[in-house]
């Protein structure tokens, strides 16, 4: 007799038994019903072991990748999809900004300005090359701007553009000795470069470009850097400091903003103790020698190749204005060119 209150035998719960010693397990029964031998369980299908593929760029992808953040931020205030969408958009925007900072392509700017930048050859009275520099067409056709020290002391000035083998004679029309600038006139129909508008202010830290012919190279060479500082001396003359690589021969090349507009003129001659170095550069070869070695030649080579990691540029506001019909005009070395000697504040 069953004790009072005992469950019916059919409703009794049987204690679990080990699959090895007890009755046949449910899995074994199913395998036997399917005609497969009972024994060690088979591995699940391969497709069940694969990691689920990451969704595509849909709303579900954002929920899949950012669902946990969405649940944490939502707290019931906003739908999960809305939070995921906001986070996803923010991440995409951040990625786009960082990609723009790391990828700076100025090839279109260089292609636009290169036809207007010339290499300047200064010849002495014997017809030999006494020096080279850079210059660029500025504001008007036939007007080329460079540094005054590039053309001073020469008898003839020739200009050559990178896409042409012709040497074009040029005459010095105006000199600004205080700011070391000179305006040349030559016969050409090439388009000039334009000055940056006042709506684009010049500020420290902005990216800058300058293209010229350093170290007597025949190829137009472009450097990119930033405007490191804008300095002003005791009498109010402003100078731009740039961190690009300025070498001998870069004097007279244009300093441009990222759009290829003129903000200044690079001056490779501007340096510390420039007066002393200029004296060394003007010394005749063989004036100083040691054990048969020409020290003057060594000094001049060192001065030409020294790189201090900082360059100087004259602001475009100091560029003198050349008016048609100005009397004079000469080849470098003459005495008829108009001369400007003044200090003006940018």
pLDDT digits (tens, 9 = 90+) for 192-229: 999 999 999 999 999 999 999 998 789 999 999 999 99
Query: What is the distance between the alpha carbons of residues 322 and 171, in angstroms, rounded to a whole number?
Result: 13
The structure tokens listed for 122 are 């200064």
Residue 299 confidence (pLDDT): 64
Q: 134-176 pLDDT, tens per residue?
A: 999 999 999 999 999 999 988 999 999 999 999 999 999 999 9
Tokens 């008898």 label which residue?
Answer: 155
Q: Report, as an integer, the average pLDDT of 310-321.
A: 91
CA 346 to chain centroid, in Å, comes to: 26
Query: What is the distance between the alpha carbons of residues 322 and 143, in angstroms, rounded to a whole number?
Result: 9
Q: Report, as an integer, the average pLDDT of 5-21.
A: 53
Output the CA torsion 244→248→251→254 (10° steps).
-40
Query: What is the distance between the alpha carbons of residues 264 and 212, in angstroms, rounded to a whole number?
Result: 13
DSSP state of 139: S
Q: Tell which wins on pLDDT, 111 or 102.
A: 111
Residue 248 confidence (pLDDT): 83
Considering only 29-43, 82-96, 311-325, which range has the smallest mean pLDDT? 82-96
The percentage of residues in the chain with a pLDDT greater than 70, rounded to a whole number, is 52
Sort residue 126 into left (φ over 0), alpha (ψ -120 to 50) or beta: alpha
Report the mean per-residue pLDDT for the chain. Answer: 75
From the number of C-beta atoms within 10 Å of its C-beta (0-12, 13-18, 19+), residue 182 rates as buried
**What is the number of other CB atoms lying within 10 angstroms of the CB of residue 162?**
14
Q: How far is CA 197 from CA 53, 191, 242, 274, in A?
A: 54, 18, 20, 33
Q: 246-268 pLDDT, tens per residue?
A: 888 899 999 999 999 999 999 98
Residue 245 confidence (pLDDT): 82
In DSSP notation, 182-244 reads EEEEE---PPPB-BPPTTS---TT-EEEEEE-GGG-SS-EEEEEEEEEEEE-TT--EEEEE-S
Strongest mean pLDDT among 11-15, 90-94, 159-163, 268-272: 159-163
Residue 268 confidence (pLDDT): 85
Query: What is the distance between the alpha carbons of residues 129 and 151, in angstroms, rounded to a whole number?
Result: 12
Strongest mean pLDDT among 50-54, 105-109, 214-218: 105-109
The structure tokens listed for 180 are 């070391």
Q: Tell which wins on pLDDT, 60 or 137.
A: 137
Answer yes or no: are the C-beta atoms of 222 and 260 closer than 8 Å: no
Query: What is the distance between the alpha carbons of residues 76 and 82, in angstroms, rounded to a whole number?
Result: 11
How many residues would you count in the chain?
A: 346
């Amino acid at each position: 007799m069953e004790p009072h209150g005992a469950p019916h035998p059919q409703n009794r719960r049987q204690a679990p038994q080990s699959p090895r010693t007890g009755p046949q397990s449910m899995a074994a029964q199913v395998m036997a019903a399917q005609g497969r031998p009972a024994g060690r369980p088979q591995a699940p299908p391969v497709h069940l072991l694969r990691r689920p593929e990451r969704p595509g760029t849909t709303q579900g992808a954002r929920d899949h990748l950012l669902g946990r953040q969405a649940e944490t931020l939502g707290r019931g205030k906003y739908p999960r999809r809305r939070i995921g969408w906001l986070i996803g958009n923010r991440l995409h925007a951040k990625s786009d900004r960082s990609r723009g900072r790391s990828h700076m392509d100025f090839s279109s700017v260089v292609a636009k300005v290169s036809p207007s930048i010339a290499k300047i050859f200064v010849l002495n009275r014997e017809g030999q090359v006494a020096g080279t520099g850079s210059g660029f067409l500025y504001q008007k056709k036939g007007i080329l701007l460079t540094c005054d020290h590039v053309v001073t002391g020469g008898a003839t000035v020739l200009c050559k553009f990178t896409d042409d083998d012709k040497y074009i004679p040029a005459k010095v029309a105006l000199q600004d000795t205080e700011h070391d600038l000179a305006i040349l006139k030559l016969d050409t129909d090439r388009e000039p470069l334009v000055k940056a508008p006042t709506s684009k202010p010049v500020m420290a830290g902005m990216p800058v470009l300058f293209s010229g012919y350093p170290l007597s190279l025949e190829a137009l060479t472009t450097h990119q850097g930033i405007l490191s500082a804008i300095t002003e001396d005791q009498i109010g003359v402003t100078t731009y400091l740039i961190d690009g690589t300025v070498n001998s021969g870069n004097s007279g090349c244009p300093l441009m903003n990222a759009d290829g507009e003129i903000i200044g003129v690079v001056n490779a001659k501007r340096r510390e103790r420039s007066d002393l170095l200029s004296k060394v550069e003007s010394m005749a070869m063989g004036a100083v020698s040691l054990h048969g070695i020409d020290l003057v030649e060594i000094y001049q080579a060192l001065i030409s190749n020294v790189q201090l990691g900082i360059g100087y540029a004259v602001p475009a506001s100091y560029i003198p204005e050349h008016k048609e019909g100005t009397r004079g005009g000469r080849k470098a070395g003459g005495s008829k060119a108009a001369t400007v000697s003044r200090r003006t504040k940018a």
